[in-house]
Amino acid sequence: MDRISLAYGSGGKQTAELVKKIFLKNLYSEELSKLEDSAIIKNKNLKVAFTTDSYVVDPIFFPGGDIGRLCVCGTVNDISVSGAKIEAISLGFIIEEGLDISVLLKIVNSIKKTAKEAGVRIVTGDTKVVEKGKADKIFINTSGIGFFDSELNFSYSNVKKDDIIIINGEVGSHGIAVLNSRNKLGISGDIKSDVAPLNGLIDLIKRIPGIKCIKDVTRGGLITALNEISESCGFGAEIEEEKVPVADSVKSACEMLGIDPFYAANEGKIVVIASKKSAEKILVEMRKHKYGKKSAIIGRFNEDKHVSVKTLIGTVRIAQSMSGEQMPRIC
């Protein structure tokens, strides 16, 4: 680890290494050390969920969304998975000199529309402009704050063996949609990003007893998300390949690119880990929501030390966290 390479920002193994060896080691706090999607801060009677995120997506407009919708959804989802109700968001814009005002306005309108959908207010912000070439069009940093309206203590460390893994729909579309539009891969089929605010969906289920934790499934995909939970709770997990929903168009694009859809990025996906007893009930509720129609039970936690996948032909393979940048095959 001499210099930062792109892999350190990929959300996989190297990002985890960077966070632990550089940030956590030097900036330790109990809240930070949990390494979950948002920090839970307690002060006397007050319990607050707090998060921050930065958005550097390229291109800034992609099929199914744009950097504006993305930054609101990502922040809303990071807060919501903790069980808190999102209250407010801050926005920090870093804009490259020369950006067309109409482009900025389009992004701001998208933010407005998405914030309205999620029922969240933008309460503070900051703007910086840098010289041409010192940033790429626009970067957005956000923070989000949420309050707990019920006694919920979701945490990866609550997860035990036999707990059930539920996902709220088809995986991998965001990563493929962005890759396709950035590199003009000419993949046919209508692949759109799944970017969506999931607070409504989470609100529908979060009070059902038996939920151990909810996790945002973003960079590094499903497998990386499950590995993070597994590492924290000390149990392994097994998912069944045939039960994980993947759109046919995403499946064939992944095949062409040599990418495993279970590692492809999402922006509107969560996994809900719940006790065996309550899983079915949660699933039924999730399917009632527009962002949970294709929800499915995909596997369970077990006594292993690793995450594994039961393949279509019934064999079992170990599934490690994503490593490096996702690279396509060349033959």
Partner 1 sequence: MKTKNKNLFSPSLWSDKDIAIKISKEIKNKAEMFFKKTGKKPSMMEVCGTHTMAIARSGIRQLIGDYVNLISGPGCPVCVTSQGDIDRIIEFSKFNDVIIATFGDMMKVKGSEGYDLNDIRIKGGDVRIVYSPMDCLELARENRGKNIVFVGVGFETTAPTIAAAVKKAYEDKINNFFVAPLFKLVPPALRFLLDSKISKIDGFILPGHVSVIIGSKAYDFLKEEYKIPSVIAGFEPLDILRAADMILSYLIEGKEVFGVEYERAVKSEGNRVALDIMNEVFKVSDAYWRAIGVIKKSGYSFSDKFEKFDAFKKYGISYREKAEPKGCLCGRILLGLSKPSDCPLFGKKCVPEDAIGPCMVSSEGACAAWYKYGVKK
* Residue 185 binds to partner 1 (criterion: CB under 8 A): yes
Selected from 109, 127, 183, 188, the binder of partner 1 by CB under 8 A is 183
Selected from 25, 44, 290, 329, the binder of partner 1 by CB under 8 A is 329
Report the nearest approach of partner 1 to the CB of residue 18 (Å).
Answer: 11
* Residue 13 binds to partner 1 (criterion: CB under 8 A): yes
Q: Confirm if 229 and 213 have CB atoms less than 8 A apart.
A: yes
* Residue 105 binds to partner 1 (criterion: CB under 8 A): no
Cα distance between the two ends of the chain: 31
- Name the residue among 143, 109, 111 with its Cα closest to residue 125: 143
Q: Confirm if 273 and 205 have CB atoms less than 8 A apart.
A: no
* Residue 22 binds to partner 1 (criterion: CB under 8 A): no
* Residue 232 binds to partner 1 (criterion: CB under 8 A): no
* Residue 29 binds to partner 1 (criterion: CB under 8 A): no
From the CA atom positions of the chain, what is the Rg in Å? 19
Q: What is the DSSP string of 245-300?
A: ---HHHHHHHHHHT--GGGS--SS-EEEEE-HHHHHHHHHHHHHSTT-TT-EEEEE
Q: Residue 160 is encoded by which pair of tokens? A: 């035990």
Q: Using CB under 8 A, which of the segments 81-89, 94-102, 178-186, 282-290 binds partner 1?
A: 178-186
* Residue 101 binds to partner 1 (criterion: CB under 8 A): no
Q: Residue 94 is encoded by which pair of tokens? A: 């870093």
Report the nearest approach of partner 1 to the CB of residue 294 (Å).
Answer: 17
* Residue 59 binds to partner 1 (criterion: CB under 8 A): no
* Residue 27 binds to partner 1 (criterion: CB under 8 A): no
- Nearest to partner 1 of 146, 221 (CB atom): 221
- Nearest to partner 1 of 146, 236 (CB atom): 236
CA 59 to chain centroid, in Å, comes to 19
* Residue 319 binds to partner 1 (criterion: CB under 8 A): yes
Report the nearest approach of partner 1 to the CB of residue 137 (Å).
Answer: 17
Report the nearest approach of partner 1 to the CB of residue 106 (Å).
Answer: 25
Beta bridge partners of residue 69, listed in sequence order: none
Q: Confirm if 103 and 69 have CB atoms less than 8 A apart.
A: no
For 40, half-sphere exposure in the C-beta direction (CA atoms, 13 angstrom radius) is 17
Selected from 136, 255, 280, 303, the binder of partner 1 by CB under 8 A is 255
Among positions 285-314, residues that touch partner 1 (CB under 8 A) are 306, 308, 311-314
Report the nearest approach of partner 1 to the CB of residue 331 (Å).
Answer: 5
- Nearest to partner 1 of 27, 330 (CB atom): 330
Q: Confirm if 193 and 177 have CB atoms less than 8 A apart.
A: yes
* Residue 133 binds to partner 1 (criterion: CB under 8 A): no
Q: What is the DSSP string of 89-136?
A: EEEEEEEETT--HHHHHHHHHHHHHHHHHHT-EEEEEEEEEE-TTSSS
Q: What is the DSSP string of 151-196?
A: -----GGG--TT-EEEE-S--SHHHHHHHHHHHT----S-------
Q: Using CB under 8 A, which of the segments 36-44, 141-149, 193-201, 322-330 binds partner 1?
A: 322-330
Selected from 14, 168, 173, 224, the binder of partner 1 by CB under 8 A is 14
Binding residues for partner 1, rule: CB under 8 A, are 3-5, 7, 13-14, 17, 183-185, 251, 255, 257-258, 260, 306, 308, 311-320, 323-325, 327-331
